[in-house]
Amino acid sequence: MDIAVIGTGYVGLVTGAGLADFGNDVICVDIDVKKIEALRRGEIPIYEPGLGKLVSKNVEEKRLSFTTDLQTAIRGARAIFIAVGTPPKADGSADLRYVEEVARSIAKEMNGPKLIVTKSTVPIGTGRLIEKILKESGTPHKGSVVSNPEFLREGLAIEDFMKPDRVVIGASDPEAAALMKEIYAPLHSLETPFVVTNVESSELIKYASNGFLATKITFINEIAQVCEKVGANVHDVAVGMGLDSRIGPKFLQAGPGFGGSCFPKDTSAMADISKKYGYEFQIMEAVLRVNDDIKQRMVTKIIEAGGGSVKGKTIAILGLAFKPETDDMRDSPTIPIIKGLQKAGASVRAFDPQAVENSKSIFENVTYCVDAYQAAEGADILVIATEWNEFRALNLGRIRKALRQPVVVDLRNVYDPQRMKSEGFNYTSVGRAS
Q: DSSP of 69-121, one letter per residue?
A: -HHHHHHH-SEEEE----PBPTTS-B--HHHHHHHHHHHHH--S-EEEEE-S-
Q: Is 184 in the site for ligand UDX (CB under 6 A)?
A: no
Give the span between the Cα atoms of 155 and 189, in whole angstroms.
26
Give the span between the Cα atoms of 243 and 246, in whole angstroms.
8
Q: Is 253 in the site for ligand UDX (CB under 6 A)?
A: yes
Phi, psi angles (nearest 5°) of residue 154: -65, 140
Q: Is 431 in the site for ligand UDX (CB under 6 A)?
A: no
Q: Is 400 in the site for ligand UDX (CB under 6 A)?
A: no
Phi, psi angles (nearest 5°) of residue 198: -85, 170
Query: SS3 of 222, please?
Result: helix
Only segment of 147-155, 267-275, 366-374, 400-408 that touches ligand UDX (CB under 6 A): 147-155
Q: Is 150 in the site for ligand UDX (CB under 6 A)?
A: yes
Q: Is 251 in the site for ligand UDX (CB under 6 A)?
A: yes
Sheet hosting strand 381-384, strand order edge to edge: 366-368, 347-351, 314-318, 381-384, 407-410, 426-428
Q: Is 228 in the site for ligand UDX (CB under 6 A)?
A: no
Give the span between the Cα atoms of 407 and 420, in whole angstroms.
10
Identify which of residues 391 and 425 has a Cβ nearer to ligand UDX in the complex: 391
Q: Is 259 in the site for ligand UDX (CB under 6 A)?
A: yes
Sheet strands (E) in 326-406: 347-351, 366-368, 381-384
Give the span between the Cα atoms of 221 and 256, in whole angstroms.
8
Find the shortest distance in angstroms from Cβ 157 to ligand UDX.
8
Only segment of 57-65, 145-153, 267-275, 369-377 that touches ligand UDX (CB under 6 A): 145-153
Give the span between the Cα atoms of 67 and 79, in whole angstroms.
16
Active site amino acids: 262
Query: Which residue from 58, 82, 65 is spatially nearest to 6, judged by alpha carbons?
Result: 82
Cα 173 to chain center, whole Å? 31
Find the shortest distance in angstroms from Cβ 346 to ligand UDX.
23
Number of residues that bind ligand UDX (CB under 6 A): 19
Interface residue with ligand UDX among 81, 207, 258, 281 (CB under 6 A) is 258
Only segment of 137-145, 151-159, 163-171, 390-398 that touches ligand UDX (CB under 6 A): 151-159
Interface residue with ligand UDX among 21, 30, 109, 154 (CB under 6 A) is 154
Q: Is 181 in the site for ligand UDX (CB under 6 A)?
A: no
Q: Is 265 in the site for ligand UDX (CB under 6 A)?
A: no
The CA radius of gyration of the chain, in Å to the nearest whole number, is 23
Phi, psi angles (nearest 5°) of residue 365: 55, 35
Query: Which residue from 84, 87, 125 is spatially nearest to 106, judged by alpha carbons?
Result: 84
Interface residue with ligand UDX among 89, 128, 142, 153 (CB under 6 A) is 153
Partners of 347 in beta bridges:
314
Find the shortest distance in angstroms from Cβ 10 to ligand UDX.
8
Interface residue with ligand UDX among 313, 323, 349, 432 (CB under 6 A) is 323
Only segment of 73-81, 103-111, 256-264, 356-364 that touches ligand UDX (CB under 6 A): 256-264
Q: Is 49 in the site for ligand UDX (CB under 6 A)?
A: no
Contact yes or no for 321/255 (Cβ under 8 A): no
Identify which of residues 155 and 340 has a Cβ nearer to ligand UDX in the complex: 155
Interface residue with ligand UDX among 8, 58, 120, 210 (CB under 6 A) is 210
Q: Is 225 in the site for ligand UDX (CB under 6 A)?
A: no
Q: Is 327 in the site for ligand UDX (CB under 6 A)?
A: no
* Interface residue list for ligand UDX (CB under 6 A): 150-154, 210, 213, 217, 251-253, 255, 258-260, 262-263, 322-323
